Amino acid sequence: MIFSAKKHPHHSHQRHWVIWLTLLLGLIVDRINWPSDWALIIPNLTPLILFYWVIAIAQRNFVVTATVIGIAHDVLFHSNLGAYALIYLLLIYPLLHMRLQLRNTTLFQMSLIVGFWMLIHQGLIWLINLGKSPNGHELTFWLSALTATLLWPLLFISLRSLRKAMHVH
Amino acid sequence: MLSIAKINHLSARDHWQLLAAFICALTLLIVDEQTQLMGQLRSILTTLVQPIEQIARIPELIINQHNQAINDQANLQHEVNRLRNQVLLLSYEKQQAAKLEQENERLKMLLGVSSQLNKGKLVVSLVVDHAPNPFKQILNLNKGSHDGVSVGMPVMDAHGMMGRIITTSYTESSLMLITDTDAQIPVTIRRTGDRGILQGNGNNDTLNLKFLPSSAQVRAGDLLETSGIDGHYPAGLAVAQITDVQAQAGAIFWKITAQPLAKLNTSREVLIIFPDQPKTNDNTTLPISNNAPVTSTDDQSIKIPSQEAP
């Protein structure tokens, strides 16, 4: 079990702005025009960060968060308004239903789940673009699910440390 | 301790929220896809998320500045910028001259062609970056609604047509390249005057020419220019060169591939074509005559006055 369900005694300060801040950072990192060689090893961070918070914070349903971040993503990346909001809503729905099971998995198991989840994420992006080819980035596009799997432990540990340090619950 | 039920259970309120958000997102998506109603909303949202874009550009700026430091003589850079701007305008005039020459040779009048561009003004803009979206071919420019740029304005570089503006924020605008899968430009073959539709296919260096009847005389090397019949692009601007022509068995149209003339991946300075008097707040811009030397306001912005067609 990699999550602690212990309720923090100082729950009066929920500090949910930390969640927004991390998602904002995710958007910034995703928006950076990385050199093409690096693009392969940098998957989309925003959905991964959203994944973490949905699992970690049981008291929130993250519907508004997913919608707002999705629309911001649409504007930043010039996709049709609502496209990413729809994708994020579709993606968090199963997470909301399986939070407990996911919280009880090992880090390795969760990495694999994250990889599969990101594969669905990429599939939804592909579908919403009406099956167009991600020009020149076909391999990178689908492989980012794998790199997300590899990156997950590091991201998970970082976000958990932040959550504990900032008493976000 | 949190109970299992508390963690996994989605309340009726949660379900309603999810459903409402889902419907909103889907409606937004359909309206944005099928109509032009979201232009204003997108413009406002783009302005709101501008700080995110600007922060995200910092690493690229640092790398660029580091590269530029090699040639850090300020005067030299200033001179280079001024000359680049001059080259752009001269190239534009050269294209116009070539068009007129072809017109004379063919003894054809392309209706309203000559006057359209000459009524307008040009603003030089810098390419800030590209949108990292593998499904789109979009560049961000450093001129926005504050500078009078509006959706639909065509953009070209020194070599040819690049595309048109699809979104504007207060200080920036987004240019959809002609290679984007959503881009379609009505064109004519400069040599023969045959009309077709040039369509992007998502590749950086190829375009497809559609709806050109197999009876039309066409060959590799022919130049394609905007026909202007859609009202978005002024007529007579060079767009692409045909690279391959194939007959399709039983088809009534040629299968034609073309290559964009504009340097879509490398051009840093581009020209935004204002179809009419620009709504600009830049009072410092000095009008110049057709034969007067090029005047630059900030080394990146040049405007030329109305010119009468010869």
CA atoms lying within 13 Å on the CB side of residue A65: 24
Decide: B160 and B237 in contact? Cβ < 8 Å. Answer: yes
Using an 8 Å CB-CB cutoff, list chain A residues near B28. 71, 81-82, 85
Using an 8 Å CB-CB cutoff, list chain A residues near B136. 77-79
- What mean pLDDT comes out for the span A140-151? 87
| Mutant choice from A31, A45, A71 vs B, greatest count of B C-beta within 10 A | A31
Query: Quick check: A86 and B22 CB within 8 A?
Result: yes
Q: B223 φ, ψ to 5°?
A: -95, 140
| Both tokens assigned to A8 | 């923090």
**Positions in chain B short of pLDDT 70:** 1-9, 68, 70-73, 103-120, 276-310
Nearest in space to B187 (alpha carbons), one of B211, B219, B151: B211
CA distance B138 to A77: 9
At residue B257, the 3 state secondary structure works out as strand
Q: What is the pLDDT of residue B280?
A: 45
Using an 8 Å CB-CB cutoff, list chain B residues near A132. 135, 181, 202
| Mutant choice from B9, B10, B14, B28 vs A, greatest count of A C-beta within 10 A | B28
Higher per-residue confidence, A83 vs B228: A83
Per-residue pLDDT reduced to its tens digit, B200-244 = 888 878 899 888 888 888 888 899 999 888 778 888 888 999 999
From the number of C-beta atoms within 10 Å of its C-beta (0-12, 13-18, 19+), residue B113 rates as buried
Nearest chain B CA: its distance from A2 CA (Å): 15
Q: What is the pLDDT of residue B39?
A: 82
CA distance B173 to B43: 9
**ipTM score:** 0.83
Closest residue on chain A to B35 (Cα): A80
Using an 8 Å CB-CB cutoff, list chain A residues near B132. 30-34, 77
Per-residue pLDDT reduced to its tens digit, A84-93 = 999 999 999 9
Q: What is the pLDDT of residue B119?
A: 53
Residue B200's identity, in one-letter code, is G
CA distance B295 to B81: 12
Query: Quick check: A32 and B18 CB within 8 A?
Result: no
Q: Could you tell me how far CA B254 lies from the centroid of its own chain? A: 27
CA distance B121 to B287: 10
Query: Quick check: A7 and B1 CB within 8 A?
Result: yes
At residue B253, the 3 state secondary structure works out as strand
Nearest in space to B182 (alpha carbons), one of B157, B207, B154: B207
**Beta strand extents in chain B (DSSP E only):** 121-130, 138-141, 154-156, 161-168, 173-177, 184-189, 195-200, 207-210, 223-226, 238-246, 255-260, 269-274
Using an 8 Å CB-CB cutoff, list chain B residues near A6. 1
Per-residue pLDDT reduced to its tens digit, A8-34 = 444 445 678 899 999 999 999 999 887
Q: What is the pLDDT of residue B309?
A: 37
From the number of C-beta atoms within 10 Å of its C-beta (0-12, 13-18, 19+), residue B98 rates as middle
Per-residue pLDDT reduced to its tens digit, A41-79 = 678 899 999 999 999 988 888 999 999 999 999 999 988
